[in-house]
């Protein structure tokens, strides 16, 4: 796929559909399907805004391949013990920031709500996604997804992807 051959509306639709699929997989606890949205070699990072702004690489989640994403899901399912929470992503419109023949860069804001077992819902995390998107293996995939979070306090262990 050559991204430059798409109209602005087509490009926006395709990128938005990928972003919505990403959020739906996480919100519906279909974590085993989540790594399929990434290329084999990728960067997935969840990092505090203060670290991102200072160029510090310390991140809450840092993965450099789809295999690392799969490993994260396996550990969530089999090794980690954490209280059950339900998440719901609220996404802003996607803004395409750069287009090349084989790469799109996009940005969007997100808000993740968390509902606990007692039914209480609160803001869990808020920030922005910085994405690099390519066409690989017959579909659009993320080659890089960085979630830069503004939230200064993370109430529980950040175990699931943002």
DSSP letters, 30-98, are: -TTTGGGGEEEEEEEEEEEHHHHHHT----SEEEEEHHHHHHHHHHHHHT------EEEEEE---EEEE
pLDDT of residue 76: 83
Task: For the chain, give the mean pLDDT.
Answer: 93
Lowest-confidence segment of 12-21, 71-80, 123-132 by average pLDDT: 71-80
pTM strictly above 0.75: yes
Q: Which CATH architecture has domain 3-149?
A: Roll (3.10)
pLDDT of residue 84: 77
60-93: pLDDT as tens digits: 999 999 999 999 999 888 876 667 789 999 999 9
Q: Does the pLDDT at position 57 exceed 90?
A: no
Nearest to 141 by CA among 18, 41, 21, 46: 18
pLDDT of residue 155: 64
Residues in the chain: 162
Q: Does the pLDDT at position 116 exceed 90?
A: no
Summarize the chain as % helix, strand, coil (round to 5). Answer: 30, 40, 30
What does the radius of gyration of the chain's CA atoms come to, in whole angstroms? 16
**Interval 115-119 mean pLDDT:** 90
pLDDT of residue 158: 78
């Amino acid at each position: 796929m050559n991204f430059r051959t798409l109209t602005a509306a087509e490009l926006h639709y395709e990128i938005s559909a990928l972003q919505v699929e990403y959020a739906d997989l996480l919100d519906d606890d279909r974590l085993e399907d989540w790594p399929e949205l990434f290329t084999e070699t990728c960067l997935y990072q969840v990092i505090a805004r203060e670290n991102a702004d200072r160029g510090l690489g310390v991140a809450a989640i840092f993965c450099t391949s789809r295999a690392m994403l799969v490993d994260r899901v396996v550990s969530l399912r089999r090794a980690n013990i954490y209280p059950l929470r339900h998440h719901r992503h609220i996404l802003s419109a996607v803004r395409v920031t750069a287009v090349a023949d084989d790469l799109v860069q996009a940005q969007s804001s997100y808000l993740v709500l968390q509902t606990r077992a007692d039914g209480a819902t609160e803001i869990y995390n808020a920030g922005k996604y910085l994405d690099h998107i390519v066409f690989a293996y017959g579909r659009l995939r993320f080659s890089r997804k960085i979630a830069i979070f503004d939230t200064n306090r993370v109430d529980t262990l950040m175990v699931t992807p943002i």
